[in-house]
């Protein structure tokens, strides 16, 4: 196990290097030069000598790879430059917005579990009956709705028509979290209900269930004590994996609901062409995603005795 973890951490290094290099290339090899961008952002015309001096100050006259190494050193020490717009350090801005996104992702995952696990199991138990068809139909619909459409529909019905829930902001009490959570959870729950159903069905078709039935163990007992326990493994893995993609996928929902997290920060930064902010967003989201995936893999190995005891290799 230790050997495996060490190996996975070593594999992480080239991936993280790749992520940072790609993000660096993306914002540096682009057609538009940073200085001209700053010029158009501030709205003042800079004389040519000043531009040249700025370029030298920012090290833009050095070759690309050298700039990358310098920049990477900055990233590792938490210095990712300043925002073109607000002139504040990017990394601390990112950190200050992160809790809001993590909170939104957390509530969404909780709601997803609360919806998809019971519904998926119910659909599996009632396979090919009305309940199953209804649940599958609903999950199919949930899968085919883009999240911006879902959020606008939710705003329309719950905030504008029924006036039950507030629409915007992350400041005013807990109620504002409901609609964005619902939006994110509906899409994810539709996906995971199907997976939970499939996992449960697979378990239900195994020999030990037949054996338990033959011995006269009650259906309920089989379901809760044996099937659910085994299916949980798949479900836990799926959910852990979804946390990573959820962290990145909240951008649209955050900007619709004015949720003051990193996703909204990135979308706002795009409108202003504030590259350092976008860069920080991409790198850290990817880093979080990779780490969560790695943690999931390790957790999965730890939880599943077949893999854990089966040997150290792949």
Partner 1 sequence: MEKKKTTRKQKVQKDYARQKMVFFGTLVLLLLLAAAFAPYLAPYDPYEQDLANALKPPGAAHLLGTDRYGRDMLSRVIVGAQTTIFSALSLVAIVTAIGSAVGVFCGYRGGRLDAVLMRASDVFLAFPGMVFAIAVASVMSGGVMNAALALACISWPKYARIARSQTMAIKNAPYIAAAKLSGSGPFKIIFRHVAPNIAGPIAVTAVLDIGTMIMEIAGLSFLGLGAAPPTAEWGSMMSNGRSMLQTSPWVILAPGCAIFLTVILFNLAGDTVRDLLDPRSR
- What phi and psi values does residue 89 have, to the nearest 5 degrees? -60, 135
Cβ 200 to partner 1 shortest distance, Å: 15
Q: Is residue 23 within the footprint of partner 1 (CB under 8 A)?
A: yes
116 in Cβ contact with 192 (< 8 Å): yes
Return the exposure string of 144-163: e unless at least 16 CB atoms fall within 10 Å of the residue's CB, then b: eeebeebbeebbeebeeeee
Footprint of partner 1 on 126-155 (CB under 8 A): 140-141, 143-149, 152-153, 155
Residue 1 touching partner 1 (CB under 8 A): no
Q: Given candidates 104, 235, 281, 301, which one binds partner 1 under the rule CB under 8 A? A: 281
Residue from the set 35, 232, 258, 267 that interacts with partner 1 by CB under 8 A: 267
Cα separation, 267 vs 273, in Å, equals 10
Q: How far is CA 299 from CA 149, 193, 225, 288, 307, in A?
A: 35, 22, 21, 16, 11
Q: Smallest distance from the beta carbon of 270 to partner 1, in angstroms?
A: 4
Using the rule CB under 8 A, give the single segment among 122-130, 170-178, 210-218, 240-248 that binds partner 1.
Answer: 240-248
Q: How far is the CB of 258 from partner 1 (least distance, A)?
A: 12
Q: What's the closest the beta carbon of residue 218 comes to partner 1, in angstroms?
A: 29
Cβ atoms of 154 and 179 closer than 8 Å: yes
Exposure string for 208-244, b = 16+ CB within 10 A, e = fewer: ebeebeeeeeeeeebbeebbbebbebbbebbbbbbbb
Q: Which residues bind partner 1 (CB under 8 A)?
A: 14-15, 18-19, 22-23, 26-27, 30, 140-141, 143-149, 152-153, 155-156, 160, 244-245, 247-249, 251-252, 255-256, 266-267, 269-271, 273, 275, 278-279, 281-282, 285-286, 289-290
């Amino acid at each position: 196990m230790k050997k495996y973890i060490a190996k996975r951490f070593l594999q992480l290094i080239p991936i993280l290097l790749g992520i940072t290099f790609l993000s660096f290339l993306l914002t540096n090899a682009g057609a538009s030069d940073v200085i001209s961008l700053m010029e158009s952002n501030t709205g003042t015309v800079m004389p040519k000598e000043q531009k040249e001096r700025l370029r030298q100050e920012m090290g833009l006259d050095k070759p690309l790879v050298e700039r990358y190494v310098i920049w990477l050193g900055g990233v590792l020490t938490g210095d990712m430059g300043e925002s073109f717009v607000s002139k504040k350090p990017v990394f601390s801005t990112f950190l200050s917005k992160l809790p809001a996104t993590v909170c939104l992702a957390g509530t969404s995952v909780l709601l997803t579990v609360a919806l998809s696990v019971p519904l998926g199991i119910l659909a599996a138990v009632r396979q090919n009956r009305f309940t199953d068809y209804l649940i599958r139909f609903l999950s199919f619909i949930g899968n085919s709705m883009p999240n911006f459409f879902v959020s606008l529909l939710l705003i329309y019905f719950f905030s504008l028509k029924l006036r039950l829930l507030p629409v915007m902001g992350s400041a005013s009490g807990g109620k504002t979290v409901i609609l964005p959570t619902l939006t994110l959870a509906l899409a994810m729950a539709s996906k995971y209900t199907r997976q939970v159903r499939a996992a449960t069905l697979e378990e239900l078709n195994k020999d030990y269930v037949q054996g338990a039935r033959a011995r006269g163990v009650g259906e309920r007992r089989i379901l809760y004590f044996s099937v659910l326990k085994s299916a949980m493994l798949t479900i836990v893995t799926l959910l852990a994996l979804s946390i990573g993609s959820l962290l990145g996928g909240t951008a649209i929902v955050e900007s619709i609901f004015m949720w003051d997290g990193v996703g909204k920060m990135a979308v706002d930064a795009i409108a202003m062409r504030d590259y350092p902010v976008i860069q920080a967003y991409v790198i850290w989201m990817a880093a979080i995603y990779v780490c969560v995936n790695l943690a999931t893999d390790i957790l999965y190995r730890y939880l599943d005795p077949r893999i854990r005891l089966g040997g150290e290799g792949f």
